[in-house]
Structure 1
C-alpha cells in the first residue's frame, strides 16, 4: 500500500491542476438570502457593564464525536456569576455549538436548511442539559444578557429556526433581546470577532448570512468528509484527531509519532492523506453574486499541495526503504515531520495576531483597547502596543499539545472577564481559568518560553 504513494505527487498535481482550472473557469455563484445576522455595534452595547467572554466550547450531540466534556464546570461558572448582583453580559465568541459533527439519522450530513439546523441544535441542547439549565438561571436575572457570536462551526445559527430553537430552550419569548446573535462585536473599548475570517481554510465569502447554494468552506468540507470518517477508525489516535490544532498540521503530528511503526496507525495516516486530497480536489470556488469586484478567497491548492505532496513523498520513500531493508524508517518521518509541525504551529498562532494588529492600526480603532478572538483554541495575550492588547480566549475542549506523549493543555477552562472602573474609562480585563465549584477562578499563566512580541513586531 505504501509503495503506491511514491507516484502520488505527479498524479496528484496533474489531477489537481485539471480540476482547479475547470472550477475556476466555472465558479459557483452565491446568492445571499434573508437568513442573516448583523454585526453588534456601539449603539447596541450597554456601556460599563461586566462582560465574560468564552470561546470554542464545541458542544456536540453527546456521541463519540462530541469533544465537550465540561458540562459541570461550565454550569458551575454560570451559576457563580448568576449569584452575583452585578449586571453581566456573557459573550459566547463563536463555535459554541459543534454543528459540523452532529450526525442524525433523519438529517443528511449534506443538508443545509432551516429544518436541519434546528434539528442539529436540538440534539446538542438535549445532550448538554446541565449548561442549558445554568444559562436559564443566568438569564433569570433581568439585568444579565447573553450574546452569541457566530463562528465557522456554528454557521447554521444564521438560520432563524436555529435562533428560535435556542431561545425556546432558554425559556425566552421570540425576539427577546436578552439573547442576541452577531457576527462581530464592537464598542465600549472592545473589538471582538470569532477569528475564522483570518484563516484561509475557514474564510467565508459571505459571512453575514446564508447563501444559495450554501457556502461550504474548505474547513467545513474537511470535517464533514474526512475528520468525521477518520474519528470512526478503531485506532486510539483517531479519537484525538479533532483535538489537534492547527488541523492543517494533523498529518505532521501523525508522521512524527513513534507509533507509526504500527500498521493500523500507518493505515489511518494513509487513509487521511487520501481523504484530504479528495476534499482538496472537490473544494468549490465561490463568487458572490452581484459583486462588481468578483472577489474569491485565496487559493488553497498551492500551499496544500506542497504539504500533501511532501507527506506523500515521505511515505513513498519510506516504502522504498522498507522494501530494501525490511524495517520501517521511523527517523525519516520524525525529523521531517517535526520540522513541518513547528512551522505550521508558528504560522497558525501568528495569523490572528497579525490580522488584529492590522485592524488596530486603523485610525477608527484608536479608541479601542481590547482586541479579542478565539478560533485557534490556544489562549494567548499579546501587547500590540502600549495601549492596545490582543487576547485569544482559547477553548474549553481538550487540547492535545503533543500526541506522542499525550501531553494536554493544563489550563483547560479559560475565559476573559472585562470590567470598567468608572463610566467611560478603558476596560480593565483579566484572562482567568475556571477551576471547579467552590473555588475562585485563577489568573491564566502564559506557559510559553517566549512571547509573540519577541518574534514579530506590530507597528501601529
Structure 2
C-alpha cells in the first residue's frame, strides 16, 4: 500500500533571515543548513519541508528592489539554491512568506524563479496540511503582531512599523558593521526586544569599541562604584563633623603600610571625588530625564512599542483556528524567534524558533558595569508526523548543533564576568496529540 498525504512527515523551519546589505549577507549557519537539507535529500521518509516565513531578509536590501533581490540571493548563495534543487527532487519544499520577505507574495516572478529550484512558493498568508486524520495550520505569525501586520497582503509597497526599523536600522547596521574594531554591529537582528538596543550598543561600545587602556582604567572604578557611594557618604559625615570614626580608623589602618598605604588612600580620595561629582551631576539629570519622559508620554510618542508579545496573540489566534475548524490540531508559526510549545484547548501552538544568533543579557556582577550580551545558537527543526505506535500525532523538536561563538565574540573581560552564568538553552519537550476529533457529547434536556 502506498503512502498518502495523511502519512506525510513534516519538517518545519523558519526565521533564517538570509541576505541583506553588505555584512548582513554573512550567513553564520550556512553549513548547518546545507547539512540539514542534504539529510532530507537522502531521506526515505514521505517527508515535506515547510519553510514557514522569513527565509530571506528582503527588507534588509535597500539598494535594489523587486525581483533584483532574487538575483542577488542567487548570486550570493549558489550552494544553497543548488541544494534546494537537489533536496526538492526527493521531497516537496514549500515556502510561506513572512514579514521580512513579504515581497515574495507581491511578485509572481518569485514563484517562477523558486520553482526552478524545486521550491513551491505559496503566496498566501497561511497554508494547511493533513496529518493523520487532523490538519496543521501554518503561518509565519507576523499577522498577529500589530507592528508587522501587512494590512494589504501582496502589496509590494506595504510598510508596517517594523519595515522602517529594518530598513533604517538593521540594513544600516549591515553597511557599517565592518568599520568597528570587531564586526559586531551586524548582530542587530539578534537583539530582542528592540527596546534593548540602546543598552546593547552601550555594552558593545564599552567592551569592544572603547580604547582598551581607557576601559581597563575604568573597570576598577565601575566595579567599586557601590563602595564609592558609601565612601562619599562617610566622607561627607566626617567633613560635617557628624561622624568621624570610620574615616579616622581607615586613616590609622592605612598609615601602618607607609608609602603603599598613602597610595591606596590617594586612590580612594580620587575615587570618592569622582563619585561625588557623578552623583552631583547625576541626581538632577535623573529628575530632568524622568520629567522629560513623563512629558513625552503624555503626547503619546512612546505609545507604540516594537516589543512582540511572544505568547498571548498567538494563543488567541490558535484558539480561533481550532474553534473554526475542529479538525485542525496544530497551529505552527514563527516570527518571535522563541521556540515554544503551548498545549491549548483544541490543539497545540508550536513556534519553530530561529536560526539567527540569539543574545542573552547578563547584567554586571557588581557596580555599574554594562551588561554582557552572551551569544549562542538554538538551531532547530520541528518534526510533525502521525505515529500510531506513539498514540497519535507526534510533535518533536530536533536540535541542530552549533557551538556558541563566545570565544570569538566576547572579550576576555566579558568572558570573566559571565563565568558560571552562561545561558542554558533547552528546546521544548515534544508532545503527542490524539489523532481524532473530539466531539462534545450533547447535554440531555432537563
Q: CA RMSD in A?
A: 3.9
Structure 1 position 196 matched with structure 2 position 142: yes
User: Is the Cα contact below 8 Å between 2:147 and 2:306 reproduced in 1?
Assistant: no
Match of 2:397 among 431, 448, 456: 431
Residue 402 of structure 1, CA deviation: 2.1
* CA spacing shift, 1:91–1:446, aligned 2, 3 Å: closer
Residue 202 of structure 1, CA deviation: 0.5
User: Is the Cα contact below 8 Å between 2:114 and 2:120 reproduced in 1?
Assistant: no
User: Which residues in structure 2 correspond to 1:78-227 (within 5 Å)?
Assistant: 78-104=37-63, 107=64, 116-141=65-90, 144-158=91-105, 159-168=107-116, 170=117, 180-188=122-130, 189-207=135-153, 209-210=154-155, 214-227=157-170
Distance across 2 between alignment mates of 1:181 and 1:204: 13
* CA spacing shift, 1:384–1:46, aligned 2, 3 Å: same
User: Is the Cα contact below 8 Å between 1:199 and 1:351 reproduced in 2?
Assistant: no
Distance across 2 between alignment mates of 1:164 and 1:406: 42
Residue 96 of structure 1, CA deviation: 0.3
Residue 354 of structure 1, CA deviation: 3.4
* CA spacing shift, 1:406–1:256, aligned 2, 3 Å: closer
User: Is the Cα contact below 8 Å between 1:375 and 1:394 reproduced in 2?
Assistant: yes
User: Which residues in structure 2 correspond to 1:342-421 (within 5 Å)?
Assistant: 348-360=309-321, 362-385=322-345, 388-402=347-361, 404-411=371-378, 413-421=379-387
Superposed CA offset, 1:185-223 (max 9, x none): 22422112101111111011122x126xx2211111221
Distance across 2 between alignment mates of 1:229 and 1:62: 8
Superposed CA offset, 1:54-111 (max 9, x none): 000111058302363211111111111221222211100000011112244xx3xxxx
Structure with the bigger RCO (C-alpha within 8 Å, sep 6+) is 1
Superposed CA offset, 1:218-272 (max 9, x none): 11122112332244164555332221122354235446789399889xxxxxxxx
Residue 435 of structure 1, CA deviation: 2.7
SS in 2 for 1:182: coil
Residue 368 of structure 1, CA deviation: 1.9
Distance across 2 between alignment mates of 1:345 and 1:179: 29
* CA spacing shift, 1:216–1:346, aligned 2, 3 Å: closer
2:27 is aligned to 68
Residue 377 of structure 1, CA deviation: 1.0
Distance across 1 between alignment mates of 2:189 and 2:41: 32
1:8 is aligned to none
Residue 434 of structure 1, CA deviation: 1.6
* CA spacing shift, 1:410–1:69, aligned 2, 3 Å: closer
SS in 2 for 1:152: coil
SS in 2 for 1:90: strand
User: Is the Cα contact below 8 Å between 1:198 and 1:355 reproduced in 2?
Assistant: no
SS in 1 for 2:152: coil
User: Is the Cα contact below 8 Å between 1:396 and 1:414 reproduced in 2?
Assistant: yes
Match of 2:187 among 222, 240, 243: 240
User: Is the Cα contact below 8 Å between 1:52 and 1:415 reproduced in 2?
Assistant: yes
Distance across 1 between alignment mates of 2:341 and 2:61: 32
SS in 2 for 1:132: helix
